[in-house]
Copies of this chain bind each other. A is one copy, B any other.
Amino acid sequence: MHQTGAMTVPAEHRQVMIASLPQGRLEPSDFAVRTAAVPVPGEGEVLCRTIALTIGAGQRAGLQGSASYAGAPEAGRVMGGTGVAEVMTAAGGLLPGDVVWAPTGWQEYSMHAPKVLTKLDPTIDAAEHLGVLGTNGLTAYFGVRDVGAVQAGDTMVVSAAAGSVGHIAGQIGTILGARVVGIVGSADKARLLTERLGFAAALDRRSSDFRADFKAATPDRIDVYFDNTGGDLLESALFRMNRGGRIACCGVVSQYDTNNPAGGPRGVPGLLINNRVRMEGFLVFDFAHRYDEARAQMSTWMREGRLTALVTEYQGLASAPQAFVDLLAGTTTGTTVVRL
């Protein structure tokens, strides 16, 4: 144990390591928990204690190696990830006890330069900071508003619509006046979207009637497709886009949990030309200068009861690998949060 100002820090902490890069589907055994020394901060460094982590499907892409925006994690490293943490040591204007958004990784303690930390309102729960007000919510906000450019009266389709980004994207579409159709992986999730989150319709992509259901649910075809999956759903949507339609490419979850990604969707580029469709990939980081705008708007919508955050919670750092496997298997809804 060592003392840092008023805070007491143990000598050792637990970390979740990447034991092996997954071959095929991710398994809990691709990770291993180990005990390591808590780092001692030097001048200008901030030691943080992780309060909660969020896990996103996009992190699986990182484990595929060089093809991802997230860089290339390697076996033997601490698994990366974003969390809410408590500041243990003063530096760069931050004081012990401050609550921050940090690239904690999957570990109990982490050390950072102050500039990578964002101070948060400590009266708001960590799950909200990691969900609606975090990367998931910001991704949904800019993807729907700026990339999808949703207009009132549009038909908007969202894939992985009960997921961390999808459930927020769909609700933002509704708030902006679109008729929103969600695509999910189970009938239970479909009911959740229509009964609790105000989606106009929701479809189970595993249903044998999916093709017919998809047509029936989009009688005016599709103006905006918010794509979290790529693959077959992207291809299906391409064939139903309206002239001038927009496809916001947010994620490719259908291709993450595999070493054998499928070919690209038929209809590219032919259908893009015939229907003058714009397809645009984006990452939330490109909108960093507008995060405050987005968070203020989302907070207002939540206060007004127009935006509901779904969260699936796990307890304890050691549950993180199973939470990740569950997320990829589609058994979680909303933001997946691991509380330490």
* Interface residues in A234-259 (C-beta closer than 8 Å to B): 234-235, 247, 249-252, 255
Q: How large is the interface on A (under 10, 10 to 19, 20 to 34, 35 or more residues)?
A: 35 or more
Q: Which residue of B lies closest to A67 (CB)?
A: B270
Pair A281/B286 contact, Cβ less than 8 Å: no
For A235, list chain B residues within 8 Å (CB).
264
Q: Give the number of times this chain occurs in the complex, counting copies.
A: 2
| A230 on interface, CB distance cutoff 8 Å | yes
Q: Which residue of B lies closest to A263 (CB)?
A: B263
For A266, list chain B residues within 8 Å (CB).
261, 263-264
| One of A161-169, A271-279, A331-339 at the interface | A271-279
Q: If the complex has contacts A235-B264, A266-B261, are A271 and B276 also in contact, measured as CB distance less than 8 A?
A: no
Pair A250/B273 contact, Cβ less than 8 Å: yes
Please report the C-alpha to C-alpha distance between residue A278 and residue B230 in the assembled complex, in whole angstroms: 15
Task: Mark A276-288 against chain B: 1 for CB-CB distance below 8 A, else 0.
Answer: 1111111100100
Pair A270/B250 contact, Cβ less than 8 Å: no
Pair B279/A252 contact, Cβ less than 8 Å: no
Pair A273/B286 contact, Cβ less than 8 Å: no
Please report the C-alpha to C-alpha distance between residue A275 and residue B68 in the assembled complex, in whole angstroms: 10
For A276, list chain B residues within 8 Å (CB).
280-283, 286
Can you name 14 extra interface pairs (CB under 8 A) apart from A234-B269, A272-B280? A67-B274, A230-B269, A247-B269, A249-B273, A251-B273, A252-B269, A263-B264, A269-B279, A271-B281, A273-B281, A275-B281, A276-B282, A276-B283, A278-B280
Q: List 27 A-B contacts (CB under 8 A).
A: A61-B270, A69-B273, A230-B269, A230-B270, A234-B268, A235-B264, A247-B269, A249-B273, A250-B273, A252-B270, A255-B270, A263-B263, A264-B264, A264-B265, A268-B279, A271-B281, A272-B280, A272-B281, A273-B281, A273-B283, A276-B281, A276-B282, A276-B286, A278-B279, A278-B281, A279-B279, A279-B280
